[in-house]
Amino acid sequence: MVVSLSTLRILLVDSDEGARRVVSSAIKQAGASVVLMAQSIEQAEQLFNEEVPDIVVASWDLPPSSGLELTRTLRKAKSPYPAVPIVLMMSETSTAQVAEARDVGVTDYLFRPFSTKNISVRLTHMINNQRPFIVCETYRGPDRRQMKAENYQGPLRREGDGWMVDV
């Protein structure tokens, strides 16, 4: 059963009005019927708590703070939906920034500029291939291991790996 974007509520967070207009239009064209919009972290938090959206699409740049800070806030235990899928839109394409985004619990990222097709493919893929949500001392977010390495030799730590607690 494929989940369609038309059944989901998406929160778009971007401080730039032009960007909000273009990206929200692209998300709607991608099939989403409800796109909530916020221009700051405060507004996003308020909308998030009131409306509890199914997906958050946020810009890396959210002056005076950032999309990373928003992710940290939404992932907190007291958040109404800590496991919400979060997509971060980034202007920079460095490995360091992607790794930083992944390590604060971002689900997926999109480099700017992107097309309607790119956002449609990413959101559809993300929502239909949800990963286990990991909570530990140093990390809260979706399972960061996505690559299926056939010759993986490292330790098996997740329940899905067949790892069992020895009681």
Partner 1 sequence: MAMYAGTDAGFRSPEVSMELMQNAHEHYTKHYEVVTRKLKHAQTATMSSLHQVKQATTQMENQRIASQEFDNLKVYEGLWDITLKAFNGNYIPESALERIENILSSLPRTIMKFYDILLGQDSVLQKLIADLSEDKYRQALNVIRKLQGGTCPVTGLSPEELECRDEAQLAQRTHESAIKIILKKKDYSSRR
CB of 124 to partner 1, least distance (A): 6
DSSP 3-state of 59 = strand
CA distance 74 to 67: 10
Cα angle 36, 78, 105; round to 5? 70
Q: Which is nearer to partner 1, 122 or 140 (CB)?
A: 122
**Contact flag: residue 39 with partner 1 (CB under 8 A):** no
Distances (CA, A) of 78 to 49, 75, 88, 138: 10, 8, 22, 17
Bridge partners of 135, per DSSP, are: 140
| Binding residue for partner 1, selected from 2, 136, 165, 167, defined by CB under 8 A | 2
What is the spatial distance between Cα 108 and Cα 106, in angstroms, rounded to a whole number?
Answer: 6
**What region, left, alpha or beta, does residue 162 occupy, with left being phi > 0 and alpha being psi -120 to 50 degrees?**
left
The residue among 40 and 79 lying less far from partner 1, judged by its C-beta, is 40
Say whether residue 49 binds partner 1 (CB under 8 A).
no
Could you say which of 124, 133, 134, 139 contacts partner 1 (CB under 8 A)?
Answer: 124
Residues 72-101 that bind partner 1 (CB under 8 A): 91-96, 98
158 is a contact residue toward partner 1 (CB under 8 A):
no
Q: Decide: 8 and 34 in contact? Cβ < 8 Å.
A: yes
Least gap, CB of 15 to partner 1 (angstroms): 10
Give CA–CA dist 146/163, Å, rounded: 17
29 near partner 1, rule: CB under 8 A: yes
CB of 166 to partner 1, least distance (A): 32
Residues at the contact surface with partner 1, assessed by CB under 8 A: 2, 4-6, 16, 18-19, 22-23, 25-26, 29-31, 33, 61, 91-96, 98, 102, 108-109, 111-118, 120-122, 124-125, 128, 146-148
